[in-house]
Structure 1
Amino acid sequence: MSDSTTDRTLALAGLFQAAAQVQHLAREGTSDPDMLETAVASIFNTKPSSTEAVFGGRDRLKAGLHLIGEITNRRSAPPLREITQYVVTLLALERQLAKRPAMLDQIGEGIERARNQAEHFSPSHAYVLSNLSAVYSETISTMMPKILVHGSQAYLTNPEIATRIRVFLLAGIRAAVLWRQRGGSHWRLLFGRSAIARTAQDMLRQMQT
């Protein structure tokens, strides 16, 4: 895989898209089926041929690319600030996770079990989602900093919704891993926002044409 602004932008779009779905589930109780499919596919695709292949194509990241544009344009509406906070925390967790090879192995084993299960059912089957949710609960959720998901208690305490939230958080970690692998860092995020925003806008324009 190449190491470029395009690759980093795609990885970041995957991260923002997953974080936005966490917010939507917690506040509205629903998620986009296509984005859930993209999230699960990204978790399972651990040996991709390209950054784009992780998500099944850049057209699967339109929502995340739009979010990059909104946030980097400094529109500080509360919903966007909350999504950004989820992204920042997921990036911090991924940095901690990178220092824990045993936990990485545990996550890999759990994902492989879920992948095998998906072959018998489907990637978005309740059994598969439950398995991926358990992977997150038993590993990443035990680390610091903790992700505090804000929303309606009726949704947060609903087992099916909570499962999907954890799956999207795991997908967020997958995208954060990809961001780092493609040369992403705290400094690139801080000082390279304009280049990332331009790249996201260019990709969206290309999709429209």
Structure 2
Amino acid sequence: MLGYLCAPTGAHELPGIVLVHDAFGLNDDTIQTAERYAALGFAVFAADVWGDRTTATAESQIGPLIGGMVSDHARWMGRIEAAHLTLAAQPEVDAEAIITAGYCFGASSALEYLRTGGNTRGVVSIHAGLDLLRPNWAAATTPARVLVCTGADDPMATAQMRSELQVALSGAAIDWELNLYSDTKHAYTNPKSAFSPMPDVVAYNPQSAARSWESTKRFLGELFPDARPAA
């Protein structure tokens, strides 16, 4: 697994973010997102969950990649844990101040990591596939906070799935926030979604993308008020 670390110049013991990629893997888009987070004043480690920097170049490759992790849950969560331990060991980061963020599959991964007792201060979940989550949150003992940004028309995060997640988070005494965007489908933050062969499932929505980024910045500011944007 070949992750990518970025942080402001001269960074030392900054709050950290483990960023988990979408179904397409740790590609240039994810690296740009990592650098965008780092510019806010964070040490960011983009995980390589698929391994060997594998990236999907066709929709047909996505199912087997995701299915391979979901069918081996211990391996899936082990890789998210490995990313956390790797970031925590870096001098750029404060090991006690790390959150987990992700998009699509990465957001599902971040929520599952919290659900299974992962050591994280919070989760930023952007258009997660809630259909990948398991139901039992008894292990989620970390006093984390959760931001969920999702589309009202996302078939992978239906009203029932959202309701079940809300009940589960509240039952685990986790402070959560749900931002729901109208006329918004899955993968709405990715401009490449505008060219998806499945427009009824996936579609780019620049307004919702901008809103979720503003919510993310506010959420991070509340968690880490001392974080400062890079000069």
Question: TM-score under structure 2 normalisation?
Answer: 0.27
Question: TM-score under structure 1 normalisation?
Answer: 0.29
Higher relative CO (Cα under 8 Å, sequence separation at least 6) belongs to 1
